[in-house]
Amino acid sequence: MTNLTQTDTSSAVMDTYKRFPLTLTKGKASFVWDDQGQKYLDYTSGIATLNLGHIPDQVHAKVTEQLSQLWHCSNLFEIPAQQALAEKLKEVSCFDQAFFCNSGAEANEAAIKLAKKYAKDQGNSERVEIVSFSGSFHGRTGTTMAATAQEKIHQGFSPITPGFRYLPYNDLTSVPKINNGKTTAVVLELIQGEGGVRPAKLDWVKAIANECRENDMLLIIDEVQTGMGRTGTLFAYEQYGIEPDIITLAKGLGSGFPVGSMLAKEHAAKSFQPGTHGSTFGGNPLAMTAALATLETMLDNNCDLFKNVKNNSTRIFSELSSWKKDLPNMIDVRGQGYLIGIQFDGEVTGIITSLREHHVLALVAGPDVLRILPPLTTSKKEIDQFLTILHDILKAQLEEGS
């Protein structure tokens, strides 16, 4: 038998990620520990996935119970936790039915397929295009990569999947260009996460919703990163006063278990029938149990989770914005809830490294944007700890450069 060293093991994994020089072995609530026993404040939340923090007690209890009962069964059988989760999601949203899968990319794939099928079912066979917007990110599968309006994502993969047209984000003048007679749907993020933490303008979103409604085009809102309380409400679309035809969820839905979902209104959902779409692992008992426990915990009557996110994030944004007068390299602070972007006049990799050296983990959202994604359960003490460390780092960098 070959004796694998750490280097051998690492080289056996395809080089698709630029990894931090850190090996995490344990997590609880807002913190993780590395293989050296060092503790870190985790403000990445697994890229907006661990919305209840690491290993939340209620989810842990339900998953542990399910582990001794049934892990997986085919969707050819009834799955009670799947039905219960679908009913709960219907109850708390404007949607009628749910499809379950394993990731955000798969949820977006499902939404794209449903939009195409809907057009055909309405007798609109000429409607073969879906509109997305500059700076978007909808996944890395062949089709969701094509839906992503970023050239860097397309590089090396031409020809990309046809059927997508790109328009400028947050540009009211682009709205009349959506319907060219070939458009079946619009897909957009209300806050572009990977695209630099850019919130959509209210008047622009409402104009798009009106355009879709008046021309029988489906409005698909990608809530993979913004959903499940990340912006201070369960779904971000609630803050825009609109009712999309479809939304997609993943990340925070399962507290770290691989789960995604597409929710749709009945008029769109009925275009999916047996044989039109499916997933081997999607909606399996273990993932559904984790997702249902996650959602129930968030909706607990005794849990002020969303109110705390709103109140604490207001304080965070106010504090960060007040720094700009003393930190000239800080250009902008934007986002909503616990999806926070800080734009600088240069690359932020050095800030990320300094934060890690101070035992705080954060991310980028493009080369010049620092992305902060606390768990929704983070405490005021932890927030203060983060703000103090970040401010000290930025002041030190400014003094070093002067």
Same topology between domain 6-55+305-401 and domain 57-298: no
Reference 332, options 386, 368, 372; nearest CA is: 368
Q: What is the pLDDT of residue 4?
A: 37
Q: What is the pLDDT of residue 400?
A: 84
Q: What is the pLDDT of residue 303?
A: 78
SS3 (DSSP) at 76: coil
Fold of 57-298: Aspartate Aminotransferase; domain 2 (3.40.640)
Q: What is the pLDDT of residues 216-260, one digit of tens each?
A: 999 999 999 999 999 999 999 999 999 999 999 999 999 999 999
Averaged pLDDT, groups of 10, the chain, 402 residues long: 43 92 97 98 98 98 98 96 98 98 98 98 97 98 98 96 98 97 98 96 98 98 98 98 98 98 98 96 98 97 88 97 95 98 97 98 97 98 98 92 64
Q: What is the pLDDT of residue 11?
A: 80
Sheet holding 164-167, edge to edge: 97-101, 260-264, 246-249, 218-222, 183-188, 129-133, 164-167
DSSP 32-54: EEETT--EEEE-SHHHHT-TT-B
What CA–CA distances, in Å, run from 307 to 89, 303, 323, 338?
Answer: 20, 9, 25, 12
Q: What is the pLDDT of residues 45-80, one digit of tens each?
A: 999 999 999 999 999 999 999 999 999 999 999 999
Q: What is the pLDDT of residue 74?
A: 95
Domains of the chain, residue spans = 6-55+305-401, 57-298
User: Which pTM was predicted?
Assistant: 0.95
Determine the Cα–Cα distance for residues 89 and 81; give it in Å rounded to an integer: 12
SS3 (DSSP) at 72: coil
Q: What is the pLDDT of residue 399?
A: 84
Fold of 6-55+305-401: Aspartate Aminotransferase, domain 1 (3.90.1150)
Cβ atoms of 374 and 338 within 8 Å: the answer is yes
Q: What is the pLDDT of residue 398?
A: 87
Cβ atoms of 316 and 340 within 8 Å: the answer is yes
